[in-house]
Amino acid sequence: MKYRCLVFDHDDTVVNSTATIHHPCFEAYLREFFPGRSCSLEEYFLKNFHPGFIPMCKEEYGLSDADLEIEYRYWQDYVQSRIPQAYPGLRELMERHKASGGILAVISHSTAWNIRRDYRANDLPEPDLVFGWEQPPERRKPNPWPLEEILRRFALRPSEVLMIDDLKPGYDMARAVGVDFAAVGWANDIPQIESFMRQNCRLYFKTVAELAAFLE
């Protein structure tokens, strides 16, 4: 195998969740707590790409830390009963990797509970390790700590790990640790995001089939 460990982002990398769950949730939150404010799906993708969700909330919508706590609880309630669909082909890719003795890890801004639930609901192989939003802020992506912890726990060299993500925070994390990064673009067709990823990432895959062919 090319890499002993595949590290997947979750939202919009493994499951189609922003367009179907997270953006509608944020819009519903704004309607309830900030009437008159709204956020288009394209803007939501772009601001999550850079500067990130928390800076977007603070800078674009003026949310305080207290507001963010309310938004987080609102989001938790919203996602409990809504399960996103995995992108076709990823289950087979993951199963091949695990069957070959590979390690499967997840680093995401969703919670570990939701990630593992989504994997079970979509019949995906159980990840060996998951780092989610429940980590303290200094240990969340793009901080390199989760990747460093994966290297430590499994005694891996950076060259044995591939980080797979659709957004810039994953790219920043991988670059800081020195592991290979695969940018994936099957969640959206936003030119600014695709242009940055293609220009800055050695590996870019527009479809799951392209990623699978590379790994084989």
Contact 109, 140 (CB under 8 A): yes
5-8 sheet: strands from edge to edge: 129-131, 103-107, 5-8, 161-165, 180-184, 203-205
Helix H or strand E segment including 94 = helix 90-99
Indicate the pTM of the whole model: 0.91
Same structural domain for residues 94 and 70?
Answer: no
What span, in angstroms and rounded, lies between the C-alpha atoms of 8 and 186? 14
Same structural domain for residues 136 and 208?
Answer: yes
Q: Could you list the residue range(s) of the whole structural domain that residue 58 is in?
A: 18-80
Same structural domain for residues 65 and 105?
Answer: no
Same structural domain for residues 159 and 63?
Answer: no
Same structural domain for residues 63 and 99?
Answer: no
Q: How many domains does the chain have?
A: 2
What integer is the mean pLDDT of 201-212? 97
Same structural domain for residues 199 and 142?
Answer: yes
> Residue 48: its pLDDT value, please?
87
Same structural domain for residues 211 and 133?
Answer: yes
Q: Which of 54, 80, 106 lies at the terminal end of a domain, its last residue?
A: 80
Same structural domain for residues 49 and 97?
Answer: no
Same structural domain for residues 208 and 101?
Answer: yes
Same structural domain for residues 46 and 111?
Answer: no
Indicate if the pLDDT at residue 17 is higher than 90. yes
Same structural domain for residues 156 and 189?
Answer: yes
Number of other CB atoms surrounding residue 146 within 10 Å: 25
Same structural domain for residues 139 and 102?
Answer: yes
Q: Which of 51, 80, 109 lies at the terminal end of a domain, its last residue?
A: 80
For residue 51 the two structure tokens come to: 């500067």
Q: Which of 61, 80, 99 lies at the terminal end of a domain, its last residue?
A: 80
What integer is the mean pLDDT of 71-90? 94
> Residue 49: its pLDDT value, please?
86
pLDDT tens digits for 114-161? 999 999 999 999 999 999 989 998 999 999 999 999 999 999 999 999
CATH number at residue 132: 3.40.50.1000
